[in-house]
């Protein structure tokens, strides 16, 4: 009876769906629900990052100012179904229709979504349709896929270059759903439509996208009725681009690897040009998810202590083509290692809104919004082995990965002679365009983001 009610709800419910076009202007703050705020005033450390730490929906609701004051107008939260014991991350569901009681109640979740919407913020839900929790062989624990026939026979993924192996074998011990089974396929489509409508989600982050056939994702995405961005953990633009035919966007892992190569490891900045040229294979780069850190990889600052390099990577990810996603804790300079150490608790820092990185993130997010970068094409302006400059509209971004001072005269720029442009990080750092040139000086590996002085907002 319950499944019948869900099926009926699928067809008779409605939602104020947020489309990919509406998401282009958004900037997303990714958080792990369990690691953001307990909501009860308890800011003590978490004794075990491999288990639940106590973060809740109410904790997020109570601290939306912390997020919105940086300029973010969307949040990405963890998967919400009831999960296998200890699965604080949400990627091991045992009941798709329930809400993880460790995070709160259905009403708590509705309150969070409503609070975000009242602030003009979108909510992106992380969803999993590839696998369930590690319950083998007792599938009766899973609602609604309570029988072995709904899964692929056990074989662990062993060759990530073999697409059949990736799609039909298991990720570790997680039972792999058989989307070719008519019941599984239709139930997942009904479920995603139902959950989006029930809670009013505006978008979806789709987990393990490369582990499921693309034709299913096309149907799943359409059933959701909202913007979908898939996790394609691969650095090849040609491979990742194929998934933009079935999902609206993908998380831009090729960009992730490029930024780590250039800014963290010091590879030549000529690679930026090569990379941007390779991305022409994407049908629409403006709705890809650009990011520097996430919950699955060691943080950028775990691989280097160079804060200027980190700032440069963040500034690139926010100003380049795509929808920026900043991982919680980056605004406080977190440097955790591999999972679960990159999943630190942030509640001790929620009152530190004047820190260097919190201020920096606020500046770059608001720069993107003020200049409405999503409305303008990406144009390369200058490339050297240790310097790269691009523009979008009247916004010009200058980067170096050299620890030394560098100076370049950028004669191909969007400005006119006599126009004064200023660096947003220091409003007295202004340059007059002379003989058609923007003279850029970068000290000690810093990044500069320029705009016309006439557009500057006084501090």
In angstroms, the Cα distances linking 288 to 22, 276, 279 are 13, 13, 11
To the question of whether residue 303 is assigned a binding role by annotation, the answer is no
Two domains, one topology: 2-375 and 379-455: no
Q: Does 75 have pLDDT greater than 50?
A: yes
Tell me if residue 202 is catalytic: no
Q: What angle do CA 285, 287, 292 make, to 5 degrees?
A: 85
Q: What is the pLDDT of residue 83?
A: 98
Catalytic residue among 126, 231, 248, 293: 231
To the question of whether residue 117 is assigned a binding role by annotation, the answer is no
Confidence band for 443, pLDDT divided at 50, 70 and 90: very high
Instruction: Provide the CATH topology of domain 2-375.
Output: TIM Barrel (3.20.20)
Distance of alpha carbon 263 from its chain centroid, rounded?
19
Rounded CA gap, 72 and 358, in Å?
12
Distance of alpha carbon 202 from its chain centroid, rounded?
14
Rounded CA gap, 108 and 90, in Å?
17
3-state helix, strand, coil in the chain (%, to 5): 35, 20, 45
To the question of whether residue 235 is assigned a binding role by annotation, the answer is yes
Are the CB atoms for 361 and 330 separated by under 8 Å?
Answer: yes
Catalytic residue among 207, 211, 248, 331: 207
pLDDT tens for 288-313 read 999 999 999 999 999 999 999 999 99
To the question of whether residue 131 is assigned a binding role by annotation, the answer is yes
Q: Does 49 have pLDDT greater than 90?
A: yes
CA nearest 208: which of 132, 142, 320, 101? 132
Instruction: Provide the CATH topology of domain 379-455.
Output: Immunoglobulin-like (2.60.40)
To the question of whether residue 205 is assigned a binding role by annotation, the answer is yes
Q: Does 8 have pLDDT greater than 90?
A: no
pLDDT tens for 146-203 read 999 999 999 999 999 999 999 999 999 999 999 999 999 999 999 999 999 999 999 9
pLDDT tens for 249-295 read 999 999 999 999 999 999 999 999 999 999 999 999 999 999 999 99
Q: Does 7 have pLDDT greater than 80?
A: no
| Percent of the chain predicted with pLDDT > 90 | 95
Enumerate the domain spans of the chain: 2-375, 379-455
CA nearest 364: which of 291, 294, 448, 446? 448
Tell me if residue 380 is catalytic: no
Q: Does 11 have pLDDT greater than 60?
A: no
Q: Does 48 have pLDDT greater than 70?
A: yes
pLDDT tens for 347-359 read 999 999 999 999 9
């Amino acid at each position: 009876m319950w499944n019948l009610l869900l099926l009926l709800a699928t067809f008779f419910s409605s939602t104020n769906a947020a489309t990919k076009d509406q998401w282009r202007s958004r900037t997303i703050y990714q958080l792990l629900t369990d690691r953001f705020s307990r909501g009860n005033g308890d800011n003590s450390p978490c004794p075990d990052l491999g288990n639940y730490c106590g973060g809740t929906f109410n904790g997020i609701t109570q601290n939306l100012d912390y997020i919105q004051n940086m300029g973010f107008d969307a949040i990405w939260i963890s998967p919400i179904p009831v999960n296998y014991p200890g699965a604080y991350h949400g990627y091991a569901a045992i009941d798709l229709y329930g809400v993880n009681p460790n995070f709160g109640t259905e009403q708590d979740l509705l309150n969070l979504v409503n609070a975000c919407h009242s602030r003009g913020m979108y909510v992106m839900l992380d969803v999993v349709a590839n696998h369930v929790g590690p319950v083998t062989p007792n599938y009766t624990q899973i609602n609604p896929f309570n029988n072995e026939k709904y899964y692929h026979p056990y074989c662990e993924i062993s060759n990530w270059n073999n697409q059949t192996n990736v799609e039909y074998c298991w990720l570790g011990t997680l039972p792999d759903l058989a989307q070719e089974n008519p019941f599984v396929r239709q139930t997942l489509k009904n479920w995603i439509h139902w959950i989006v409508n029930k809670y009013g989600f505006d978008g979806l982050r789709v987990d393990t996208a490369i582990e499921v056939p693309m034709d299913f994702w096309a149907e799943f995405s359409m059933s959701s009725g909202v913007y979908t961005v898939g996790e394609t953990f691969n650095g090849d633009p040609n491979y990742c681009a194929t998934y933009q035919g079935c999902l609206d966007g993908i998380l831009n892992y090729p960009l992730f690897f490029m930024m780590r190569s250039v800014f963290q490891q010091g590879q030549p900045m000529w690679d930026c040009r090569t990379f941007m040229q390779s991305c022409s294979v994407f049908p629409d780069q403006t709705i890809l998810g650009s990011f520097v850190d996430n919950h699955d990889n060691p943080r950028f600052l775990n691989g280097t202590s160079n804060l200027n390099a980190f700032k440069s990577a963040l500034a690139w990810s926010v100003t380049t083509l795509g929808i920026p996603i900043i991982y919680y804790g980056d605004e406080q300079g977190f440097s955790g290692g591999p999972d679960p150490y990159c999943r630190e608790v942030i509640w001790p820092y929620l009152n530190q809104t004047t820190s260097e990185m919190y201020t920096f993130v606020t500046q770059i997010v608001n720069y993107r919004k003020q200049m409405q970068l999503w409305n303008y094409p990406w144009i390369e302006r200058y490339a050297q082995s240790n310097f790269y400059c691009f523009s979008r509209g009247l916004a010009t971004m200058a980067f170096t990965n050299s620890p030394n001072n560098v100076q370049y005269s950028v004669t191909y720029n969007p400005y006119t002679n006599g126009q004064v442009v200023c660096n947003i990080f220091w409003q007295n750092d202004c340059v007059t365009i002379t003989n058609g040139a923007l003279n850029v000086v970068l000290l000690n590996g810093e990044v500069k983001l320029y705009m016309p002085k006439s557009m500057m907002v006084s501090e």
